[in-house]
């Protein structure tokens, strides 16, 4: 089943996946995420493109993407996915997805740089232009972002993910954030991140945010 839904997703992307071979592909139930790397701008900056699709009966029936952050991308409009976070205690996928959601709750929602050491590996690999490299760089980033922190951590994440999926040691998470469309309306921009989780800690991060085209919060 996993191989079959991955094949459908790659076929759906067609020539794009041939031009930009995936960094990795993960599947979780009906959802498949393909992560590719492009070089954009005059400086050839790395930009990680996330394509998440839902596959049913051998066909793509729903899609989310960060490929066109400046305009309404494919799949715009707030989704109502059937897919829900995997419950705690149900195998490796559950543990990795819970580690990622705990990271957001305890670090970013609590404005707490001190919690980074509990959840992030010392040799943490960062693939994000807007965040300094390594665990120490992440700690510094959080302190600068929240100079008045920490605050009490909420019981659940402040922003519930619209996509949360995992396979093996990889987890993909995305939020859907309304953005102005330039004509008085809004569209939903999907903010993606992917993580490699090793021994209960985040070991590597791929950001789907274009550092030169940041979202409006």
- The pLDDT tens digits for 73-114 are 444 444 444 445 455 555 666 789 999 999 999 999 999 999
Q: Pick the last residue of a domain from 65, 81, 101.
A: 65
DSSP code of 79?
-
Please report whether residue 216 resides in a domain.
Answer: no
* Residue 76 pLDDT: 43
* Residue 200 pLDDT: 94
Please report whether residue 174 resides in a domain.
Answer: yes
Domain range for residue 114? 92-207
Which CATH number characterizes residue 133's domain?
3.10.450.50
108 shares its domain with 180: yes
99 shares its domain with 198: yes
* Residue 64 pLDDT: 87
101 shares its domain with 191: yes
CA–CA gap between residue 52 and residue 66 (Å, rounded): 9
CA–CA gap between residue 25 and residue 125 (Å, rounded): 19
Is there a contact between 202 and 124 (Cβ–Cβ < 8 Å)?
A: yes
pTM tops 0.85 = yes
Residue 130, phi then psi, degrees to nearest 5: -90, 0
Peptide bond into 150 cis (omega under 30): yes
CA–CA gap between residue 110 and residue 84 (Å, rounded): 24
Instruction: Tell me which residue of 56, 53, 57, 64 sits closest to 27, measured CA to CA.
Output: 53
Please report whether residue 80 resides in a domain.
Answer: no
56 shares its domain with 100: no
pLDDT digit string, tens, across residues 114-132:
999 999 999 999 998 889 9
Number of structural domains found in the chain: 2
15 shares its domain with 58: yes
């Amino acid at each position: 089943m996993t191989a079959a839904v991955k094949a459908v997703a790659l076929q759906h992307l067609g020539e794009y996946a041939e031009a930009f071979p995936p960094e990795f592909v993960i599947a979780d139930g009906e959802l498949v995420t393909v992560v590719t790397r492009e070089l954009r701008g005059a400086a050839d900056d790395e930009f990680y493109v996330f394509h998440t699709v839902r596959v049913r009966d051998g066909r793509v029936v729903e899609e989310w993407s960060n490929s066109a952050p400046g305009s309404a991308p494919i799949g715009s409009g707030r989704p109502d996915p059937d897919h829900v976070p995997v419950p705690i205690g149900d195998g490796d996928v559950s543990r990795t997805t819970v580690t990622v959601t705990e990271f957001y709750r305890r670090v970013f929602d609590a404005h707490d740089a001190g919690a980074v050491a509990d959840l992030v590996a010392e040799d943490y690999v960062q693939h994000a232009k807007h965040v300094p490299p390594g665990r120490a760089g992440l700690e510094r980033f959080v302190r600068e972002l929240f100079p008045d922190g920490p605050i009490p951590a909420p019981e659940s994440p402040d922003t519930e993910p619209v996509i949360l999926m995992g396979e093996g040691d990889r987890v993909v998470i995305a939020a859907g954030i309304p953005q102005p469309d330039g004509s008085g309306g809004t569209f939903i921009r999907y903010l993606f991140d992917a993580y490699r989780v090793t021994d209960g800690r985040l070991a590597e991060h791929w950001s789907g945010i274009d550092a030169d085209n940041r979202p409006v919060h």
